[in-house]
Structure 1
Amino acid sequence: MNDALRVALSDTGHTTESLAEHVGVDPKTVARWLTEGRIPHPRHRFAAAEALHRDVSDIWPDTTRRRDPIWFRPWQEIEREAVSLRSYQSAVLPGLLQTEAYARAVLAGGGLLARDDIERHLAARLGRQGILRRDGPPQFTAVIDEAVLRRPVGGRATMHEQLLALVTACAEPHVRIHVVPSSVGAYAGLNGPFVIANSHDHRVAGYLDNQLQGQVVSDPEDIAAMMTAWENVRGEALSHWQSVDLITEVAETWS
């Protein structure tokens, strides 16, 4: 139960039906915000908070709590507002699809972060995943290298759980995963991971990772180069359902 939302409804005399009409969603959607703790799309959050005479942070504090690195915040805002996300990863799974155990293993790997920093980054990463569970989620397409499925991040149990979670995620209509098989030789993905985001107003932004911090890309020539790389990696990958079959097969090798 979202108690803050319940109290705000009571104080203002709103019902789930009247708030739904004001925000422009189905009453069942507002009921899910209330009883299941769903986090609405940003534009619905702001409209609901305005109708209830509250700050967004009063009703959905987890969406504004800053646990992420300062350098990552510009991309996090872009990610939250995106209508589509296209992600390529060659070494690990995309953060939006990682289980808690897998994410913790990735963050702890190499011993570069203190324990408190690991937990802080972990909380931020898991919090971001809410965008795939909210009402009106972005269309998320991920291309990953087959090596990602076979790298023993966190051990056998963690990998088994993680790959089964991937298969479950693939059943969602807004999630598509494609695997580049190990039989493919040199391809554009070997140059490194990247993400491309499209917004409601048709703006496109990119994100690149490195050992120190991420970089948001918006220059048209850079975006064009990333789009070309995306077409290459997507073209080398298996279809979505072929990829699901492969993920399921590899998951059994970790059991």
Structure 2
Amino acid sequence: MEGEPTAELIRTQLRRLRQNAGLSQEEFGRLVHFSGSQVSAVELGQRPLDRFFLKRADEVLNTGGLLLSLLRMAERDGQPSWLRPWLDAERDAQLLWCYHPTLVPGLLQTENYARAVIRADDMLSDDEVERRVAVRLDRQAVLGRAQPPKLVTVVEEAVLRRADESFRGIMAQQVGHLIRCVERPHVRVHVIPAEVSTHVGLAGPFTLARGADGGWIAHLENQLGGTTIDRDEDVASLVARWESVRSEALPHRQSVELMKEVVSSWS
């Protein structure tokens, strides 16, 4: 990301704002809890842009969150080309339908759950794990905007109960988060009970987004990334699969009760 134009803009703005505030790199560093040499390294592009650093910089320089917002733009610019069309569709959606057979969907993941899932790929460095966690959490901001999309997700009971001793704390936090999420009128989580042994959704995860124009677009995840689907026939097939998957899941109230039972079973 450091070679991206937006990343260079962040460094330029940081330097300009610091100088306009009459602060040397050493003085500014003390205020943001970094050394002067670290500040210099950030401004010169010799040190990766750091969310904590930029958050503190925004506070010290009273920018209204400018630098952190620019970082989010840089991270979005740095996303692979196959994902960008879907990010646009997700951001502009009025309705989102999401099914995942093995994980809690990303828009409803807690930070700790997201980190555990992403860290399972042992080919990723710690910095890359944290970057991906941050991007995933930033995408959740779509649910907190003034007019959020209606999000309907379907998850498997087995996903909620996948918790050995080392993972149970993270899962208890995650399922508790789901229960709180569905208190919002625009979020629904439906659970497919364990006794439903097979259905069409088990072939793989997918998400559908409907925009303001009423048109649909879909996204399929796979081991190498994902694919955005916009061909009418393919989207129609996925809508039909969604209806089939949704019909296997419990109603809203029963799903919430099952989630509460899952959490209580661990205490």
TM range (shorter): 0.7 to 0.9
Which aligned pairs between 1:43-192 and structure 2 lie closer than 5 A? 60-61=69-70, 64-67=73-76, 69-70=79-80, 71-152=82-163, 155-192=167-204
Rg: which structure is higher?
2
How much has 1:65 moved relative to structure 2? Answer: 3.3
Structure 1: which 4+ aligned runs deviate by more than 6 Å? none
Gaps of 5+ in 1: 1-56
Q: How far has the Cα of 1:76 moved from its partner?
A: 0.8
Contact 1:159-1:254 within 8 A present in 2 as well: no
Rounded to whole Å, the distance in 1 between the matches of 2:131 and 2:114 is 12
How high is the TM-score relative to the length of structure 1? Answer: 0.74
List alignment gaps of at least 5 residues for structure 2: 1-65
Q: Quick one: distance in 1 between partners of 2:259 and 2:221?
A: 25
State how far apart, in whole Å, the 1-side matches of 2:161 and 2:182 are: 18
Compute the displacement of 1:106 (Å). 0.3
Tell me the TM-score normalized by structure 2.
Answer: 0.71
Q: Does 1:224 align with 2:233?
A: no
Q: Is the 8 A contact 2:72 2:135 kept in 1?
A: no
Structure 1, residues 149-200: CA drift from partner, whole Å, max 9, x if none?
0112861111111111100001000001100101112201111110000000
Letter in 1 for 2:213: D
Q: What amino acid is aligned across from residue 240 of structure 2 in structure 1?
A: T
Alignment-mate amino acid for residue 86 of structure 2: W
CA RMSD for the aligned pairs?
A: 1.9
Count of residue pairs brought into register by the alignment: 200
Alpha carbons 1:85, 1:138 under 8 Å: kept? yes
Q: 1:194 to 1:244 in 2, by over 3 A?
A: same
1:204 matched to 2:204: no
- Cα distance in 1 for partners of 2:265, 2:89 equals 37
* Other structure's SS at 1:209 match: strand
**Is the 2:175–2:259 Cα contact (8 Å) retained in structure 1?**
yes
| Code of the aligned partner of 1:61 | L
